[in-house]
Structure 1
Amino acid sequence: MRIDIHMYDGVAEVDALTTYAVFANAARRGLAVEPHLVTADGATEVTGCYGTRFGGLERWSPETARVLAVSGGWILEEIERGVIPRQLAEAKAIGGDNLILAGIDSGTLLLGAAGLLQGRPATTHRVDLDRLKEWAEVVDARVVDDGDLVTCGSGWFAGVDLACWLLERELGANPEIVALEQWIGRDRQGTVWRR
């Protein structure tokens, strides 16, 4: 299962890397996951919202990825520019029903700006719940699962909870997830909301 984690200038380092770390650790445990740090435009380097430079990035692959995870960050400027929302809409059109969109924290707002949340339940960082109402049916839950759309709420470990849920849902990997939680030193938080 290919998992693309979208990187862009201003991405929240912790959103992207904690999510990536869960999937990478799962791969080391023998689960059938391939996490990739990717960009939409093929840029090989971006700078995170706290100034961390990331290199060695690759172009995303919505035609073969099972999951496209969109991290939060300094996104209001990106919503205003409209480039990333347009790219996300194009990625979903290419990936179709096979591509699961995963909004991590405020990354869900980028999916909303892309027109991908209309009438669907979703969550985001608590301070952005009112803003999310413009695009989605807001559910104040840790993880909201609506099939090919999975979003998670606030906090530095929200991406961990989302990644663990996707591993459980897609691979049924309960023993491995328990081992992952023990390795991380943190159990998942909150309840997964499903329709």
Structure 2
Amino acid sequence: MADLLAEIVLFDGFDELDAIGPYEVFQNGAQAGASLETRLVTLEETALVTASHGLRVEPDGTLGEPDLLLVPGGGWTTAGGVRAVVDEGTLPDAVGERSAAGATVASVCTGAMVLAAGGLLEGRPAITHQVAVDDLEAHAADVIDARVVDDGDVLTAGGVTAGLDLALWFLEREFGAAVAAAVETEMEHERRGAVVD
């Protein structure tokens, strides 16, 4: 049994790389020695979730009580995706509940808007995709110009590929630099930009 459980919550219109990139980083981290189990989950039981570019994903189950809850972005500037789940309200509430219960919460790209709607970012440093920076500031977050912002129990990443760097940073933070470096080598990815910790 892994020491840490990471759950990546999916919803119709999520951006593929925002979720699948960190998933692969975490799975490779487990192979490199991190005591980490990663699951793709939804709020309600469903057979398939359709992402923003048409990828259909079969989730592992429904949201539980993870140590790390990661929220992808996708669709803030359109009617679906993040915009729809923020307007609907159930996912922001669930994220807020998991945070209050002690989970570390992370977002990639416009997933930060879900965290903001859940009341997690007020007065805290955070980043999102450039298309949502003004909206994030309007939610009273302290927007930081960085690729990844680590505020302890809340981590946020900029747009899309920044999720790879957030996941690698999380591996380094929780399991050590050697694990993160092994995954970087395996995936032939070099982290770039600043991590504000």
Specify if TM > 0.5: yes
* Aligned mates of 1:56, 1:66 — CA distance in 2: 18
Q: Is the 8 A contact 2:23 2:38 kept in 1?
A: yes
In the TM superposition, what whole-angstrom CA distance separates every residue of 1:96-118 from its partner, at most 9, and x where no partner exists? 2xx11001111011110111111
Letter in 2 for 1:162: L
Say whether residues 1:159 and 2:159 are aligned partners. Answer: no
Identity %: 40
AA aligned to 2:156 is: T
Structure 1 counterpart of 2:26, one-letter code: F
- Structure 1 runs of 4+ aligned residues shifted over 4 Å read none
Aligned pair partner of 1:51 in 50, 54, 66: 54
CA distance in 2, matches of 1:119, 1:43: 35
1: distance between equivalents of 2:67 and 2:91?
19
Q: Which amino acid aligns with 1:34?
A: E
The equivalent residue for 2:148 is 143
Give the aligned residue type for 1:54. Answer: V
Residue 77 of structure 1 deviates from its aligned partner by: 2.2
- 1:175 Cα shift? 1.8
Select which of 82, 95, 102 maps to 2:89: 82
Shift in Å, 1:42: 3.1
The CA deviation at 1:83 is 2.3
User: 1-side partners of 2:95 and 2:34: how far apart?
Assistant: 27
Matched, 1:38 2:41: yes
Aligned length: 187
Q: 1:184 to 1:132 in 2, by over 3 A?
A: same
TM (normalized to structure 1)?
0.90
Provide structure 2 residue ranges, at least 5 long, that are not aligned to the other structure: 76-81
Secondary structure in structure 1 of the residue aligned to 2:106: strand
